[in-house]
Amino acid sequence: MMQNKINEPVEATHLGKKSEFPEQYDASVLVAVPRYENRKIYNIEERPSIFVGKDVWHAYELGFLTEIGLPVTGMLKLVYGADNLFLVESKSLKLYLNSFNMSNFGKNRQEGIEEVLTLIKADLDKCLGTNVDVSFMEDGQEKKLDFNDFDLLEQHPDAELVDYTHFNESPELLESVAGKVLKVGSHLLRSNCKITHQPDWGSVYINIEGESIPSKMSLLKYLVSFRNENHFHEEVCEMIYKRLYDVFSPKKLMVACLFTRRGGIDICPVRASHESLLPTNLIDVDSRDCKLIRQ
């Protein structure tokens, strides 16, 4: 893990600073961020027992040169578990991936792709102390979507009849109603970067089952209340999951947050009470899932 200045959080190594892009392949720029700081605030164990999950990354600007200088470009998909102790800081990953741009790999295109993927996997496995699945994708691959049967909260007739006055995470907004299953989503998720405080836009999908479930409008108001929160994407997903878990004690619960790309990378964390609830295409490293309006 890259060392940082005294009293400066490791996640601020690159974020909020002018950074020089490496001119050649350089794994030293990668930064691993401990998950425990935010988890302890929400009483989530360092290695959680209340959920399983994946962090899914799509990097749309991966490129390198073959040995004869032919450019190769495509999308890199990364998938790794939420039970490890670290997440990779996004700007460090951007700098790292850009270090491939003017570097030469492979006698031909396919050989170069294999060499680059092998390097990326080895570097991220080492940085994060876990197994990271990687794949390289191009246009023309089949695209799939996991969330077709989720209703959008903002399209509910009552969405324009309630007041939205809380813009910091407010679990007291959540109201319980009798029910069994609620499968809803929203494209209105917005939070801010933990370090730079720049806005992060995204879509959120929630599947909750239990004797009591949140009313749709109280859930929408709660999701809107993240608007002024400053957290990493993975933290936002876990915060929503933990609040719903604490308030409703559900039998089953899944929360997926699909954030808008920034710097050519989008981050899509998902947490669930049961592995069977994890969105199949999103967590499959070899599946090209459809992009949503916020991606």
Residues labelled as active-site residues: 193, 200
Cβ–Cβ < 8 Å for 191, 237: no
Cβ–Cβ < 8 Å for 51, 273: yes
Q: Taking Cα atoms as reference points, which of 119, 74, 115 lies closest to residue 96?
A: 119
Q: Taking Cα atoms as reference points, which of 171, 185, 180 lies closest to residue 247?
A: 171
Q: Taking Cα atoms as reference points, which of 139, 138, 99 lies closest to residue 116?
A: 99
**CA dist list (Å): 105 to 23, 64, 126, 186:** 15, 7, 21, 42
The span from the CA of 265 to the CA of 100, in Å, is 15
Cβ–Cβ < 8 Å for 144, 288: yes
> Residue-wise over 200-220: b if at least 16 C-beta within 10 A, else e?
bbbbbbbbbbbebbbbbbbbb
Radius of gyration of the chain (CA): 20
